[in-house]
Amino acid sequence: MRKWGVFFIFFALACGKEMNDESSMIPDPHSYANSGQCVVTHLDWRATVDFTTKQISATATWTIHRKEGNEVVLDAKSLKIDSIFLDNGKPAVFSLEGDDPILGQALRIRLEPETKTISIRYRTTPGAEALQWLMPEQTAGRQHPFLFTQSQAILARTWIPCQDSPGVRFTYTAEVTVPSNLLALMSASNPIEKNESGIYTFEMKQPVPSYLLALTVGDIAFRPVSDRSGVYAEPVTLEAAAWEFADLEKMIAAAEELYGPYLWERYDVIVLPPSFPFGGMENPRLTFVTPTLLAGDRSLTSVIAHELAHSWSGNLVTNKTWNDFWLNEGFTVYFETRIMEKLYGREHSEMLAVLNLHDLETDMREISSGPHPDDTKLKLDLQGRNPDDAATDVAYNKGYFLLRTLEEKYGREKFDAFLRDYFSTYAFSVMDTETFIDVFKTYYREHFNINVEDALFTSWIYSRGLPADFTPPSSDRFAKVEDAARNALEGQDITAATKGWTTQEWLHFLNMLPDTLTQAQLQTLDRLGRFTESGNAEIFSAWSLIAVRNNYSPIREPLRRFLINTGRRKFLTPIYTELAKTPEGRAFAEEVYRAARPNYHFVSTSTIDKVLSFDPPGL
């Protein structure tokens, strides 16, 4: 792999486009696509969304660029392929091969010498893991059904046959027909209101990888925030969402000032129903977010800064395979933290950094005692595994702390200059870990006459855990929180000390509490922070873990409601894991999970099924 890195640097400097073409020759362990021989360049998608049958029927017409051979290979999973035509109208000879539980099938299509496009008529099936069909009662408005997709990491192939590898980029156009009382949106140019026909057209002019294909359909309204940004949500949520995300434009301006122009024209956000499995998903032009960000005090908007930052790290410079996932997420957490620092000050961003470290250490402890301790390295080997396994705090926060270390070691000015050039040089192309190391070393040598030691990357990227010489972040405000936590545990009334605390200070307070607490201590703490009744999902879930661990019964019913109504995996996984540690907890978890599971997206159920050793119905 290493020699490829050196090879790419040459091409990257010579011609960014060339590098992208060559790089697609590197096999992706999570795709059957033969993009080295024949690569897709444009998608025209014509689709009808039917809520009665919970099915999308579509024609996907792919424009191809052939370098050699007489076939194109796409990824497909749980799709019903009806027919395939070549551009001359002739039916194509094709086969669906294999049926891997993770990867799905290889769709091999025979090409004629002159073939430029292929049209695939197909339907999705109930097994489409990207799609979540919601009944009206699972939405905020409770009147209309809702659909959203989640394609990352390799689920795009369950709703569109495609070369489902982050190394393959294409532009797209689409025409989507939905019931006339609903609005459709994609990761593309979007409508801002419903029309009577229920037919919506879309265009994505900038090439994107398949994991950034996105569609959502529902009773959705729009509110502008600035000329180039706005918020979509169900009508009953719109007001709260627009208030919570009022700083959108300021965030875009801060991001541009840091690392260069925003290249995707518009930046909008849609607040989805609560079953959305992530905090946010960086679908280009239209970030998808969970309603658990609507805390009512704008305290959880760093997720928006994160998804916006992906417009550079990830969506412009994309990890080549999921083994390099830290390049997407570590850069994004770094960028997010810089946006937050610019808008709300260093004191605030340092609190976020300390919380990131806490999350990372918790996750690394868990991973180290599990079957894949090498997952605490930044560079992963996910061959034969679900690439979703890469989505741990290691990619996000160990990646962040490596970049923070590079910044601190050689100076912020140099690092910012490097990042600006990095994002512009490699825009719309892919990056792997080895190439990044070479690019960084070369840049620092040529621009600053600095020789960066290999040992630094070896200890961060190819070794488990955190390096011995890692300097953790610190926060003065958190030091005061730690004093208050000590005093509270000694029985002192700390009400006055907590006055004006932010969400981040409360979270740190909860993180500082010991594993074991008495019922009396729990009651006093709960009176102090009103955690059990908190509407802030971060605080409630952190408190739930403490309450479950210490068998604090008042948490039971609020926790049941929370688990049934929230589909965000980040909250669900630790809570179900903690519950499963005792027989009573496990019984409660299983009972709640049976009721809650239909409200969760596949991304969440695939994780929680494992936590609870749950046998999915029908399998």
Instruction: Say how far apart CA 425 and CA 443 lie, in whole Å.
Output: 12
- Closest distance to Zn ion from the beta carbon of 356 (Å): 13
Give the integer Cα–Cα distance in Å for 570 and 542.
11
Tokens for 3? 């020699």
Q: From the candidates 172, 396, 422, 443, which is the catalytic residue?
A: 396
Q: Which residue is nearest to Zn ion (CB)?
A: 332
Ordered DSSP codes for 89-149:
SPBPPEEEEEEETTTEEEEEEE--TT--EEEEEEEE-TT-TTEEEE-GGGSSSSSS-EEEE
Active-site option among 129, 234, 307, 505: 307
Mention every residue, 6+ apart, whose C-beta is less than 8 A from residue 182.
144, 145, 194, 198, 217, 218, 219, 220
Provide the minimum distance between the beta carbon of 332 and Zn ion in the complex, in angstroms, as a whole number: 5
Q: What is the 3-state secondary structure (H, E, C) of 167-183?
A: CCEEEEEEEEECCCCCE
Q: How many residues does the chain have?
A: 619
Closest CB to Zn ion among residues 34, 283: 283
Q: What CA–CA distance (Å, rounded) separates 461 from 262?
A: 29
At 163 the three-state DSSP class reads: coil
CB of 268 to Zn ion, least distance (A): 17
In the bound state with Zn ion, the residue whose beta carbon lies nearer, of 11 and 278, is 278
Angstrom CA distances, 403 to 147, 180, 289, 450, stand at 37, 48, 26, 16
The nearer residue to Zn ion, 84 or 390, going by C-beta atoms, is 390
CB 64 within 8 A of CB 163: no
Considering the complex, state which of residue 219 and residue 329 has its C-beta at the smaller distance from Zn ion: 329
Q: Tell me whether residue 307 is one of the annotated catalytic residues.
A: yes
Q: Which positions touch Zn ion (CB under 5 A)?
A: 329, 332
329 vs 538, beta carbon nearer Zn ion: 329
| Least distance between Zn ion and beta carbon 399 (Å) | 10
203 is catalytic: no
**CB of 396: closest distance to Zn ion in angstroms?**
7
Q: Which residue has the tokens 């600095």?
A: 450
Q: At its nearest, how many Å lie between Zn ion and the CB of residue 331? A: 9
Q: Which residue, 332 or 392, has its beta carbon nearer to Zn ion?
A: 332
Sign of torsion over alpha carbons 547, 551, 555, 560: positive
Is 191 strand, coil or helix?
A: coil
Of the pair 329, 375, the CB lying nearest Zn ion is at 329
The two most distant CA atoms of the chain are separated, in Å, by 82
Smallest gap from residue 73 Cβ to Zn ion (A) = 29
By DSSP bridging, strand 199-209 and strand 429-431 are unpaired
Q: What positions carry a catalytic annotation?
A: 307, 396
